[in-house]
Amino acid sequence: MPVIEVDGVAKRYRDVTAVDDVSLHVEQGQIYALLGLNGAGKTTLIRMLLGMIAPTAGSVSVLGAAVTSGDRSAWARVGYLVEAPVAYPELTVRENLHLIARLRRLPGSAKEAVDDVIERLALTPYADRRARTLSMGNLERLALAKALIHTPDLLILDEPVNGLDPAGVVEIRTLLAGLARQHGTTVLLSSHLLTEVTRLATRIGIIHHGRLLGEHHADGLEQQLERHLNITTRDDAKAHEVLHAHGYHPGPAPGGGLHLTDEHALARPEEVATVLVQAGLPPTKLLIEEEDLETYFLRIIGQRIGAGDA
């Protein structure tokens, strides 16, 4: 049974459709990332998962229980962080965590749970510091510690690496991967940082203008990247004619020169070179290039905009 099941969910405000007919499933132990630009609808979707707002259409279930606004039945097994990290400023890190442990009515020793989460989140040097003196990164860690103190089966995080320095990002990445691997914890997170998400997540859902445009296994994403043959000659206009006459479909390359995406050109670039040499236009550059992830993301989004889907 999926840990999260979202079926045909929409959220409409007066003149804005924040989430538009989204269906997705998240399986146990997955780290699923909702990837989208600002305003894509990630927070709205997450708030519906947590029962904080009710969908206009569709249904959501979490850990096998239907989420209806106000229903907190699956709550004890979910940890979440969806707001900017907040803590009682005059309490220490440890006191803040004890408070949460008491509110959560943790079985067993609260002290043990607090000590354990302090260690896991590398908060030991700050345990007795008042929250108001913490850096943004450590405040974020404290917020994560609060979300994790009851070792939830499902962790939901809205933009978890915002505000962290690169070392903090690596720490969070290691922590989440460890939780998923060692404890089978399922993680759903949102982010607008594509490169970060490909390192962190096992599955990625691309969301744009409230719609889920596609889902990818993080390690399969590379295969979606477009490859092209980039060629420069002394006379690109003439080279264009020659290649066209030989059945290729050259286009202008963004940085100058010609751009070929024909499969046979990519499979046999030496044949393209031969054609050009025989026409008296030896290539001064001939290179197979792969688009980077950011370009891919923008291309996918751009196609939808081009198709009148914006």
Ligand X SMILES: Nc1ncnc2c1ncn2[C@@H]1O[C@H](COP(=O)(O)OP(=O)(O)OP(=O)(O)O)[C@@H](O)[C@H]1O
Binding residues for ligand X, rule: CB under 6 A, are: 13, 16, 18, 36, 38-44
Rounded to 5°, angle at Cα 193 from 190 and 196: 95
- 68, 51 contact by CB (below 8 A): yes
For 84-114, the three-class secondary structure string (H helix, E strand, C coil) is: CCCCCCCCEHHHHHHHHHHHCCCCCCHHHHH
217: which 2 tokens? 């296994």
Least distance from ligand X to the Cβ atom of residue 32, Å = 15
**CB closer to ligand X, 38 vs 223:** 38
Cβ of residue 24: shortest distance to ligand X, in angstroms?
Answer: 15
Nearer to ligand X, 13 or 105 (CB): 13
Nearer to ligand X among residue 52 and residue 266 (C-beta):
52
- Nearer to ligand X by Cβ, of 215 and 219: the residue is 215
Strands 203-208, 31-35: pairing kind: parallel
Distance CA 80, CA 220 (A): 28
CB atoms within 10 A of CB 137: 18
Q: Compare residues 49 and 221 and give the one whose CB is closer to ligand X.
A: 49
Give min distance, CB of 18 to ligand X, in A.
3
**Packing angle of the helix pair 136-148, 166-183 (nearest 10 deg):** 10
Place of tokens 């982010």: 191
CB of 43 to ligand X, least distance (A): 3
Distance of closest approach, residue 85 Cβ to ligand X, in angstroms? 15
SS (H, E, C) 249-268: CCEECCCCCEEECCHHHHHC
Min dist. Cβ of residue 156 to ligand X (A): 13
* Residue closer to ligand X (CB basis): 12 or 246: 12
